[in-house]
Structures are given as structure tokens and as C-alpha cells.
Amino acid sequence: MQEPIVRDYLSRASNVFFLVAALIMWSIAWPTLPMTHDLPAYLYPFLSALAVLPLALAWANPILGWAVSMGTAVVMTLFVPTINGWPWSIQVTHFIVLLVLTTMACIRGPIQQIPLVWIGTIVLLWFAAPSDQRGGWIFAIGCIAVVSALLRVLFRSRRQLAQRTEETELAQSKQAVLQERTRIARDLHDVVAHRMSTVVVMAQTAKYRLDEELTPATVAEFDAIAVAARESLDEVRQLLGVLRLDNGALAAPNPGLADLDSLISATRSAGVTVTFTDATDHEQIGESSALVLYRIVQESLANATRHAPGATVTVALVPSSAESTVLSVINSAPSSPAIDAGGSGVGIIGMTERAKSVGGQVSATPIADGGFAVHAVVPNRPASAVATQVDAKQVDIEQVSSPPAIADGSADPDAAASR
């Protein structure tokens, strides 16, 4: 039981400081006690220890330390006579320790015990101090109590401010992550809506597109598929309706790989040197994966513009042998200080979340020359995607006529990604 207490006590630098101070005071009080008080020699170490060693508790438990030192001072005042004309009933070291413990008790002790400490110290000084010095020291103790109370209020305000700041930063961090996940959910919802609407169109137009004549049972089966897909789409839209724009307006269609040229051109117009290489077949990459790749490039370019002004940025899209696409966005070391443009601070988290949503992965790390590199591996199509591809020329989504009308896009208010 004692070992953990001792270990915890010694783990604080403030406790070690007061312990060393207490030992120094004891080394002074013990040999000087015979010069001021008349008592048996065997009581010197014991009484001097009770007088000054409680200083070791000034930080850990100042009320207990004050009580022990105060009790010793009362005993010495009442029962131990002074010698050599010493005017105080206690030693100088003992008086210094009492002042320190009184101050620490007023600062760190329970607030309801501060009046007791203040009154007890004043009463002791009335009897222990010389008659011509009592008023001054009592006034000094009153000043110590007032200053200690002010310090107590100041320290408490700072603690509360630090705690509220930490809580605010934690809430902002959680909110930023939730907002990023909401944006990801919105993007994926739009992809799901598009794919589900495609299923509806395929099921409704199958009897016109197929060469052979379909039996009534087959036609009914296709109609049932269309109804089920339409109902599922309506449920998805109802559950994720909060991800739409607040004013109810519908946003533009989601960007894809075909929009990378315009994105990079806009970045170049801002004065950034960007080299772009695209060796992929866009038709082999699904819409959700293309959206993820676009957002990662968008976020990486925005970060390079803010955090590495004057750097050269290289963007490369290359296919891999595992039916996935490898994206690299590498910027060199900046030639001027970073731009403080604010932001939520979750850009890398957002890129990682987006990649994971389609089964991919992202790494973002500094490089040796002082630049920064973002590497992503994104499957061309998520594992749950339907293998059968539909010829877009044979399907006209605009011909769907089923209530409610299917919205093909959703809001993305954060097109310009930033941290």
C-alpha cells in the first residue's frame, strides 16, 4: 500500500522540491534548537522534525502538513521554555515553514477549511510572536490569505479555460470528422441513386431491347425487379435526405476522371506548376472509384497550394495489375512560407475515409527533399459492384417515368477540399 503512495508522491517534481526543502530546514532546525529552547537532547531530532518536515506535504496535502506543524508550535508555545533571551516561542525555521504551509493551504486546500487555517495561524502568532511584532505579522497573514484567494481564483479560471478549450477542440475535431463522413456518404448516395435508376431503366426496357419475344411471366418478373429497385431507391433517398442541400435544390452531377483536366487547369491558373499523367482507361473505372480518385486529387492539390507555395506538383494515374488504379500526387519542397487559409484539419482523414469506402487505401507522408507525397490504390470497381456492364447508348435514363422523379445528383458544398 505504501509503495504506490511513495511512488506517486515522488513522481511529481513539486513534491520532490518541497521534500528537499523540508530536509534542508530540518538540517538547520535540529542543531539550532538547543540555542533557543530548553528541553532534553533526545527530543531535539523528534521535535524539530515535527516542526519543519511537514513542509514536504506543502503540495501533496498542505492542510495535513499545516495541522502537524501547527500542533507542534502549540506544544512548544505552552510547554517548552525559551533560553538565551529568544523572544519567539518557536524557531525561525518553524515560523518560515508555518508561513509556507499557511499559504499553500489557502491556495490548494479545501475552500471551507481556509478560514480555520487563517484564524488558527493568527491565534498562534498572537501568543508566539513578541508583543511589539504581533500586529505586523497578523496583518501579513491577512495579506497572505487575500493574495492566496486571488491566486486560487486565477488558477481555477485557467484550469476551467484549458478544460473548455480542450473540450471545444475535441468537439470541433469530432464535428469535422462527421462532416467529412457526411460528404462521403452524400457522394456514395448519389452513385447508388444513379446505379439503382439504371437498374429500373434496364428492367423496364428489357422487353423492347431484347430480340426474342418474352413470355408474360418473364415480363412480370422484369416489372417486379423494376418495382423493387424503385422502392429501394425511394427508401435510400428518404434515409439520406438530410444529405441534400438545405434549400432543397439539387446539386450538379458528381465529378469524375474526365473533370481532372479542368481541375488541374484551375490549379495551374493559380500559379501552381502541375504535371499531369493519365494512363488509365476511364471506361474501366466505376463511378464511385472515379469520384474517390477525383476527390483525392482535389484535396492533394488544395493542400499543396496552401502548404507548399512555389512547389512543383506531379499527378500520375496509372493502372495496376490487380484491377485497380494507382494515384500519386507529389509536391516538391515549398519555396515560400505556407499560406494560412484556415480549414477543418481533416483533409488526410477525409481522403483515407473515401478510399476505404470503396476498398482502397491512402498513404500521405513527407519525403526526403522536404516535399509531400500522397499515394492511393483504389479498386476500379468496388467489390460489391455488378459485373455486368450496360451500354449507356441503349439506356436513356431521362425516359424513366415513375413517381417520385429520380434525382441524379446530390449536393456537394465542399467541392474545393481543404483542411
pLDDT digits (tens, 9 = 90+) for 131-155: 888 888 889 888 888 888 888 888 8
Which of the listed residues 132, 147, 179 is the one where a domain comes to its end?
A: 132
Residue numbers of the domain that contains 50 = 2-132
* Within a domain: 290: yes
Which helix (H) or strand (E) segment holds residue 331: the answer is strand 324-331
Q: What is the pLDDT of residues 190-236, one digit of tens each?
A: 667 666 766 776 777 777 777 777 888 888 888 888 888 777 777 77
* Within a domain: 9: yes
- Residue 206, number of CB atoms within 10 A of its CB: 17
* Within a domain: 238: no
* Within a domain: 138: no
Question: What pLDDT was estimated at residue 5?
Answer: 85
* Within a domain: 395: no
Q: What is the DSSP letter of 399?
A: G
Q: What percent of the chain has pLDDT over 90?
A: 37
- Residue 299, number of CB atoms within 10 A of its CB: 24
Question: What pLDDT was estimated at residue 385?
Answer: 46
How many structural domains compose the chain?
A: 2
From residue 183, how far is each of 180, 186, 301, 350 by CA, in Å? 5, 5, 18, 9
Question: What pLDDT was estimated at residue 386?
Answer: 38
Question: What pLDDT was estimated at residue 276?
Answer: 95
Q: What is the pLDDT of residues 338-382, one digit of tens each?
A: 755 444 556 788 888 889 988 899 999 999 989 999 999 999 887
Which helix (H) or strand (E) segment holds residue 276: the answer is strand 273-278
From residue 333, how far is each of 263, 329, 338, 370 by CA, in Å? 22, 13, 11, 5
Q: What is the pLDDT of residues 6-49, one digit of tens each?
A: 888 999 999 999 999 999 999 999 999 999 999 999 999 999 99
* Within a domain: 192: no
Task: Say which CATH number the domain at 330 has.
Answer: 3.30.565.10
Closest Cα partner for 144 from 99, 113, 110, 111?
A: 99
Q: How confident is the model at residue 389 (pLDDT cuts 50, 70, 90)?
A: very low
From residue 131, how far is each of 134, 135, 151, 171, 303 by CA, in Å? 6, 8, 31, 60, 75
Q: How confident is the model at residue 400 (pLDDT cuts 50, 70, 90)?
A: very low
* Within a domain: 418: no
Q: What is the DSSP letter of 41?
A: G
pLDDT at 175 over 80: yes
